[in-house]
Amino acid sequence: MGRLAAKNGSGRPSHIRSWREHQSDSRGGDISVKAGDKINLKVTAQEKRRNGPWQTGIKVIQVTADPGGLVKDPWVNSSGLPKACGEKTWEQDDQATYTVPKNPPPIIKICALAEDYVGKR
């Protein structure tokens, strides 16, 4: 049995809420999981609109786990280039399901990262 601790790329608690829903745990702390458990993740990436029009919009969302690496293929914006101001992807949802591996370590780390068109996370 291991514990699930969801974090974003900066090490702060992420906005991923689905592990709580999966485990019916509303406290928001670490929870116990066991091999074979499926953890449904819902991620919302947002590009903040502030200080001018130069934000490029969301290009990629990826969800990784330790252990396991990529949880699923990354979501990639179908536009190869940033869109015009009124058409930018300011917010994007993505979903993934992580299956707890056999003999899980004491702590499982799940991380969601979003990146814009200039590589800013």
Q: How many CB atoms lie within 10 A of CB 117?
A: 20
Peptide bond into 104 cis (omega under 30): no
Other CB atoms within a 10 A radius of the CB of residue 29 amount to 11
Q: Two tokens at 77?
A: 């914006």
Beta strands 38-46 and 91-99 are antiparallel
Per-residue pLDDT tens, the chain, 121 aa: give them: 334 444 444 333 333 333 333 333 444 566 788 899 999 999 999 887 776 667 888 999 999 999 999 999 999 999 888 888 788 888 999 999 999 999 989 888 999 999 988 888 8
Is the separation of the CB atoms in 18 and 33 below 8 Å? Answer: no
Report the SS3 class of residue 19: helix
For the chain, the first-to-last Cα distance in angstroms comes to 32
Tokens of 12: 């702060």
What is the C-alpha separation between 62 and 45, in angstroms, rounded? Answer: 10
Domain boundaries, the chain: 2-116
